Structure 1
C-alpha cells in the first residue's frame, strides 16, 4: 500500500508544481521593470572632452545598443558639476534621466558651494561607480623642476603657483593633498574650468597644476610641460614612465584618485534602479568598453549601488577635514 501511494502521488505533485509555476510566471513577468521605455538622457556636468564626457558617450552608445532605446548625452557644465546633478535630482524619478559626475559632487561640493537648490547627498542615489581617474602634476619648464622632489624643495624657498579648474575640483584637491603630504607650500590660482587652467600653465602665467592626464599628455610629449607625477596609486597607462605620488614622495599608501559615479533621482523605483545597475555592470564588462576607457586614462570599476554608497561614505570622511581646514568656498 505504501509503494502504491507514492507512485500515485508523484505525478500529482508534478502536475501541481507545473500548475503553480504556470500561475506564478505571469506574476513574475509583471514584476520585471520595463526599462527603458523611452529615450534615456545622460547628463554630464563638464564640457565635451573631459573624463566624464568621454565615459558618458561610450556608456550611452553601449546602452542604446543594449536596450534599443536612444541614450542621449547632454552637457550642462558649471558650478563644479552641480548644474547637471541638480537637473538629475529634480527630474522625474523613473530612471530615464541619469547623471555621470565626479565623486566631488557628493564628497566636496556640499561643503564648498552655497545653496544650490538641491542636496546631492540626499536627492540622488548612486547606481554604480563607473570608473576611477587621477590627475597629473605638470609644471611649465620655466619653473626649473623635473621631479616632485625638486618641486617640494624649491617650493619651500620660492613662491610657486599652481592652477586648477576651480575650488574643490579634483585638480585642486590633488594639489592640496600633495602639499599636505610633502610639507611644501604653493599658492592656488583657480580658473573657470580645466581648459583655461591648462592654458595658464602652458603660457607660464602659473607655474604648475594637477590636471587630467589626457588633457596634458600631448603637451608633455611635445616638451611644453614637465610631468612630475600622477596622483593615483598606480601609474597611468598613458604615461607609464611618470612616477606615482606615492613613489615620488616615498609614501606607499598615498593614493589621490577620484571616481565617476552614475546617479539617478531619489525615489526611483527599486526594480528600475536594479535594472540600471545590472545594465551598467554588464556594459562595463565588455572588453571594447574597458579598452577604450583605459585609453583615456580611466580605470573601469563597475560597482553595485550598495558598494558605491559605502565608498562614497568613506570618501566623504576622507575629504571633509581637508575642505574644512582650507575653508574652501566657491564664489
Structure 2
C-alpha cells in the first residue's frame, strides 16, 4: 500500500480538533492549499470522505469520526511523550488570555512588564476556549471563572464588579435614571440574567421584558456603547470605555460578579523562570487594581477561593 500517510493523518487530526483548516495549517506551518491536498490524498487512499466542507469550516463525516476515534489517541500519546523532552525556553512565556481581558486590562499594563524584563518574550494567544495544557504548548492562562479547574494551579487575581452602564447618547435622549426607575429603561440581558440579582440586592422590580439578550460580555458592552440600552457592565471591561467617554456609570452601587479572574498554569510550568517573573508582576498589579477606591463599594458579598487546583 506504499508509505503510511502520517503527515496527512496529523493534519487530519488537527483539522478535526479545530474544525478549521486555516488554524490546523498554521500549527503545521503549511498553507491551507497544501493541507487540503494532503487530506484529499488521505481520502483517496481510504476511498472515503473524512470531512464535509462548509462556509464555517469542516465537519467530520461518520467515516472521519471513526478514523479520529482510532488515530487521535495515538497522536495525543506521541505529543505527551515528546513534551517530556521539550524543555521550555527560560526567556519565553506563552500566555493564553481572553481577548476582552487582554484589551481592557492586561495590554494597558503590559508595557510596564516589558520595560522591567526586556530580556523576556511574551507570546499572547487570544482565545475564549479553555486551554488543554496536556496538548497545547501554553505555559499559563488568565481566565475568568470559579477557580475550580482540575489538574492545574489557579491563583486568584481579583474579583469583578457589575454596575449599570449606558451610552452618553442614550442618557441625552432619556435623561439619567434613578435606581427606582431603572426597570423602566431599555435593559440588556446577559446570559445569566444578573439583573434579577441586582434588583433583589438593591431594590426595584425587574422589567417584564428585556430589549435584547446577549451570550457574551464583549457584545453586551458593544450594544451598550451603541445606545441599544442599559447593561450591567463588568468594571474590568467597562472602566476603560468610561474613561474614553463611550459609556457612563449610572450608579455607585456595585454587585460582585459570580466569577473572578485567575492566573492558571500546569505543574510543569511552576518553575518556568519567565512565568515566575510574570506571576510576581501580575499578582502585584492585581493587588493594586483590587485596592483602587472604585473596587471597594458596598455590594452583596461573595466568598472567593484564594487558591485551587484545577484546567483552564
Calculate the TM-score normalised by the size of structure 1. Answer: 0.47
Question: Which structure's residues are more often helix, by fraction?
Answer: 1
Calculate the TM-score normalised by the size of structure 2. Answer: 0.49
